[in-house]
Structure 1
Amino acid sequence: MTTWVDGLRHALAAALVAGAFAPAYAQTPGVNKEGVGKDRILLGTSNPLTGPVGPPCKPVSDGHLAWFAHVNAQGGVKGRKIENIVLDDAYKAPEALANGRQLAAKPVFAFFAGCGTLQPPVLMPIARQNKMLYLFPSAGNPELMTTHFVYSLFPLYSDQMAAITEASMKKYGPGKVFSVLADVPGVEDNIKAIVKAATSGGGSYIGEERVTQREPDYTPLALKIKAMKPDYIMILMTAPATAKLMNALQAQDAFPAKYLLGTLTMASPAFLNAAGSLVNGKALVGLPVVPPDDPRAKSCVDVLKKYSPETPIDAFSLYGCAAGQVFSAALADTPEPVTRASFEKTLMSWKAKNVTEVVSPITFNNPKHLGATQMIMTKIVNGKAVAEGTIPLPR
């Protein structure tokens, strides 16, 4: 059977073959070799606007495009407009490679944001070759935390799941933890993190199920879970697969004794619209941003409503907006002349920088170049994520 990992290897091989025949692209007039001009700065994004993950991922780029439109309407940053070129990769490696080559040839100042684990392995070599920055991707690839030119706001899934597991046990009592995880690169690290967190929280880890997310029927898994009687179930899958699992758990009366645990997918409209009523009061979700209904989200909510009214206001679009806010603030703090090196120096100088209320105070000067210091613990209530407090992230 071909696994997701095998599929990614084949896609990357195809992408490299396609890259050998990549067309030449003309450089954008009015900007220097680092994508900076007197009146503008170019950013480049490869993001799934269509395809299987288009619905949750497109709002990420919609979010930062909306914030940049707001900034530009105010005259830009020190008279320089932020131009963000967003290209659709449909969550396919060859398209992401072509996009990366095209954007690097513009040239853009940095690869910016994006959503998904497939693109970083394709884009990082291009960034390295062109001495570019890769800023704030919404992805859980471990390599992002060990690559010097990458700066992240999005914690690794292993860190997210460890944080929510330990925090849940601290607040609601220790217990037995079972995991249902997508069988993707990094799954071993995710399991190790959950095991460690369950033990640290005074509980125990009783096993996991790795899924392809295309199972036609989750009833056998629901019955297995029912027999194991977990107190907590940690879930990391796509929204449709998670919703399908919830229906199977409901049908078999197999929900955990305490809580379902998850990441931002479980707070997405795609999941909440399909299964929000099933998990009402039963799910705890760690978010890298505040929930949409939280007063702290107002700056981004107002901008999204004005500049991108068709975009759903959720954790994905708020993350994109927050990424735009962080970039704008760093650009404002960077002295002239603006270069990649001087911008990077600005990021590294920040310590608990209060850039926006949407994310935690920012500190990039750590081995992971991870700006976020904490997440928001939320509970799913009446189809919405409601903030319950903050969760410290492993540093």
Structure 2
Amino acid sequence: MGMNVAVAQGSLRIGMVAGFTGPVAGLVQESAEGARMYFDAVNAQGGIRGQNIELVTQDDKYDNATAAAHARSLASQGVLALMLSRGTGPTEAMLPVLKENRLPLIAPATGAISLREPVQPFVFNLRASYQEEAERAVKHLVGIGVKRITIVQVNDPFGTDAGKGAIKGLDELKLRALSNLRYDRNKPNLAPTMQAIAKAGIEAVVLIGPGYAVAEGVNALRAAGSTAHVATLSNNASHEFVKSLGENARGIIVTQLFPYERSTSNPLVREALGLAKAAGRTELTPAQLEGFTAAKLVVEALRRAGKDIDRAALLRALEGPRLDLGGLQIGYNEKDHKGLEFTDVSIIGPDGKFWR
């Protein structure tokens, strides 16, 4: 996993540059599994006009310079598009490569506003923005009767971006956070912060950051004796995150950006579950469903790109009529590459699964 793989002659090559090792490895691996599951199913039915789709992966170790270098390497190898990059920094580092090679990036797994406004002509977002999901989180908390809310965010572009959404959500409800605290990404040291929050009688904490930092914060909050609600964002919707919380996982609120992965009434989820069961899997994770949905978007664009598929044809197809992903409609034009606005919340149950 994460190394460049050989591809068959004449195949339709799609690249994925993401942190297969490092702090987001669990999410990256799960999303790649979901994408491969759909590509394999399409290939088993004859591919796209007889051509198989090949997912070519590179491990950027969640490092900006490495992400740019791998994107440039894949571009030189003739991939038609990139997909499912993970993280704001690594994705932003790829932007010059996309422009130089007129290479589309489809469904980056980041909700950064910088990839939406102003429109990035070669980036086609699928998921909602960080601000939209943080806004959804605080509105859920207020909806269950919580008013004493503190925002604790990582001191980086992701934390700043998402924090603005949380503040916006409270503003719309005519409320204010009791405090808006920041911590260092590399050395969170959240125990003193959480002890102070526990003493202040805070009812809920919106905890924004990478999984290892959020887990440290939750465990410190519980160790300080607080039973406050904790809400975090979809970047932590993985089994790895749940495991890191141990006995403190139950009740943690995690925003979600795709339909409920166990909802058989949803056409997209029903299709994904059917393929998962055929492959011997009993369930899907949120990240696997995101990868599956991203792969559907890639395939629908490839099908519309015409007989002789190249990057230019794929770009035209993406900015053409709306695409149906199975209960989810998505459309792009030269002025709007924002993607979906779907947001939801889940709660980690006693079984360690995300329930809605």
**What TM-score, normalized by structure 1, do the two folds share?**
0.78
**Cα contact 2:16–2:58 (8 A) shared by 1:** yes
Alpha-carbon separation, structure 1, partners of 2:289 and 2:122: 24
Deviation at 1:138, TM superposition (A): 0.5
Alpha-carbon separation, structure 2, partners of 1:128 and 1:262: 33
Deviation at 1:380, TM superposition (A): 2.1
| Structure 2 residues without counterparts, runs of 5 or longer | 1-6
Change (3 A) 1:364 1:168: farther
The secondary structure found in structure 2 opposite 1:119 is helix
- The one-letter code matched in structure 1 to 2:33 is D
Matched, 1:316 2:287: yes
Matched, 1:134 2:99: no
- The one-letter code matched in structure 2 to 1:68 is F
Matched, 1:147 2:120: yes
2:171 corresponds to: 199
Correspondences of 1:150-189 after superposition (within 5 Å): 150-169=123-142, 171-173=143-145, 175-189=147-161
Deviation at 1:304, TM superposition (A): 4.3
Alpha-carbon separation, structure 1, partners of 2:8 and 2:215: 48
Q: Deviations over 1:91-136 (max 9, x none)?
A: 2234323311211111111122222223212211111001111111
- The one-letter code matched in structure 2 to 1:157 is Y
Matched, 1:292 2:264: no
- The one-letter code matched in structure 2 to 1:220 is P
Matched, 1:349 2:317: no
Alpha-carbon separation, structure 1, partners of 2:331 and 2:27: 27
Deviation at 1:379, TM superposition (A): 2.2
Alpha-carbon separation, structure 2, partners of 1:204 and 1:355: 38
Change (3 A) 1:205 1:367: farther
- The one-letter code matched in structure 1 to 2:152 is V
Alpha-carbon separation, structure 2, partners of 1:204 and 1:366: 37
**Cα contact 1:262–1:286 (8 A) shared by 2:** yes
Query: For structure 1, which segment, 294-303 or 174-183, has the greater mean C-alpha deviation from structure 2 after superposition?
Result: 294-303
1:273 corresponds to: 243
Matched, 1:235 2:207: yes
Alpha-carbon separation, structure 2, partners of 1:175 and 1:88: 42
**Cα contact 2:132–2:341 (8 A) shared by 1:** no
Matched, 1:221 2:221: no
**Cα contact 1:57–1:116 (8 A) shared by 2:** no
**What TM-score, normalized by structure 2, do the two folds share?**
0.86
Alpha-carbon separation, structure 2, partners of 1:140 and 1:308: 32
The secondary structure found in structure 2 opposite 1:229 is coil
Alpha-carbon separation, structure 1, partners of 2:60 and 2:278: 26
Change (3 A) 1:149 1:217: closer
1:102 corresponds to: 73
1:246 corresponds to: 218
Aligned sequence identity (%): 22
- The one-letter code matched in structure 2 to 1:292 is E
Deviation at 1:180, TM superposition (A): 1.5
Alpha-carbon separation, structure 1, partners of 2:57 and 2:188: 35
Alpha-carbon separation, structure 2, partners of 1:365 and 1:97: 26
Change (3 A) 1:91 1:307: farther
**Cα contact 2:26–2:238 (8 A) shared by 1:** no
Matched, 1:68 2:36: no
The secondary structure found in structure 2 opposite 1:79 is coil
- The one-letter code matched in structure 2 to 1:172 is I
2:20 corresponds to: 49
Q: Deviations over 1:152-192 (max 9, x none)?
A: 112221222012222442x3235132112111124333322
1:87 corresponds to: 58
**Cα contact 1:158–1:189 (8 A) shared by 2:** yes
Deviation at 1:247, TM superposition (A): 1.6
Deviation at 1:137, TM superposition (A): 0.9
Deviation at 1:324, TM superposition (A): 0.4
Alpha-carbon separation, structure 1, partners of 2:310 and 2:273: 31
Larger relative contact order (Cα-Cα within 8 Å, sequence gap ≥ 6): 2
Alpha-carbon separation, structure 2, partners of 1:29 and 1:76: 13
Alpha-carbon separation, structure 2, partners of 1:142 and 1:216: 24
- The CA RMSD measured in Å over matched residues stands at 2.7
**Cα contact 2:13–2:55 (8 A) shared by 1:** yes
- The one-letter code matched in structure 1 to 2:324 is N
Change (3 A) 1:185 1:216: closer
- The one-letter code matched in structure 2 to 1:130 is N
Alpha-carbon separation, structure 2, partners of 1:117 and 1:155: 14
Matched, 1:370 2:341: no
Alpha-carbon separation, structure 2, partners of 1:219 and 1:285: 21
The secondary structure found in structure 1 opposite 2:157 is coil
Alpha-carbon separation, structure 2, partners of 1:103 and 1:265: 25
Change (3 A) 1:207 1:367: farther
The secondary structure found in structure 2 opposite 1:196 is helix
- The one-letter code matched in structure 2 to 1:254 is S
The secondary structure found in structure 2 opposite 1:178 is strand
The secondary structure found in structure 2 opposite 1:118 is helix
Alpha-carbon separation, structure 1, partners of 2:302 and 2:179: 46
**Cα contact 1:243–1:274 (8 A) shared by 2:** yes
The secondary structure found in structure 1 opposite 2:35 is helix
Aligned length: 344
**Cα contact 1:60–1:114 (8 A) shared by 2:** no
